[in-house]
A = this chain, B = another copy of it.
Amino acid sequence: MTIGIIGGGATGLLFSWYLSRQNPLKIFVRTNNQAEKINDNGITLYKAKEPWTSKSMTASSSYEGLEDCGVILIMVKQYHLSGILPILSKLPKEIPLVFLQNGLGHLDDVNELPNENILLGTIEHGCQRIDSDSVRHNGTGLTRIAPLKGDVVRLKSILKDYDEDFPISFGDSWKQILYKKLIVNAAINPLTAVLNVPNGSLVDNPYFKKLLHSILEEIIPLFPEVDEKEMMQNVVGICESTKENRSSMLKDIEAGRKTEIDAIMGYCLKQGELLGHQMAFSRLIYEMVKGKEVEQGG
């Protein structure tokens, strides 16, 4: 059963490398150049010292053959989804679709797809794209998947039996997994991007820790399903265990790339408006990141 992966970024390459070890795999990327490089060289994974190359996949810069996949993982940034949804809506309804974006702003559109099984997931791996056909796997993390519509039965039968470097868990509540991931991202990413510090500074620096708490106090109440105290500890724990890491949003700012601020903080601000919550801190941080995008871009 062929697995389809849409997206040739860091996570797309990482998943392609791991999942191609047990299944035929096709990766759909945006440029001819990347497709050719992957078809010629395979994908190389850097983990520890030894790079490992896998050639057990084919790459394509068109969506030809997408309908022959047994399952499709959509691994593009949320702001690239709009171009892909119309293509997905024409696929056979029995193909399970797995969406692995940050944020929640896309769920209404995704929900309207006619497919029977639509799954949502979050990724905790630390990874970094080195080149269009190579990726660094910095830290193993859990991939959590839960159904938005339908169930995970078919998907589970395809994605089973992976090794300990690539664990996948199947759950029932997409809200729990997506809300928690969103809160983590909304607290850590924009703040580290604005302050230009690694994750650990948000708990080591007493002033930055105060800011982290201020943000969390605004964000967590947007999601009454999430336990406030437990979530606070969770975020602090993540800052501690990823002390040296520079967040993806900080890296995006440094590289002059578009960030996921709208998918993450923009979504929270909209929720705050709907619920009538005061979001002064979050709004300020949002404006700062948007401004930094403009600054870096030009």
Contact = CB atoms under 8 A, between A and B. Distances in A.
Contacts of A214: 284
A195 B281 contact: no
A206 B294 CA distance: 9
B196 A291 contact: no
Interface of A: 194-197, 201, 205-208, 210-211, 214, 280-281, 284, 287-288, 290-292, 294-295
B290 A207 contact: yes
Contact of A195 (B201, B206, B207, B291): B291
Q: Which 5 pairs between the two chains have the least Cβ-Cβ distance?
A: A207-B291, A280-B280, A208-B291, A207-B290, A207-B287
Contacts of A284: 211, 214, 280-281, 284
A210 B287 CA distance: 8
A263 B132 CA distance: 51
A252 to B, nearest CB: 16
A207 B280 contact: no
A235 B284 CA distance: 20
A280 B291 CA distance: 19
A272 to B, nearest CB: 14
Contacts of A194: 194-195, 288
A205 B291 contact: yes
Given A207-B294, A280-B284, 16 more contacts: A194-B194, A195-B291, A195-B295, A196-B196, A205-B291, A205-B294, A205-B295, A206-B291, A207-B287, A207-B288, A207-B291, A208-B291, A208-B295, A210-B287, A211-B287, A214-B284
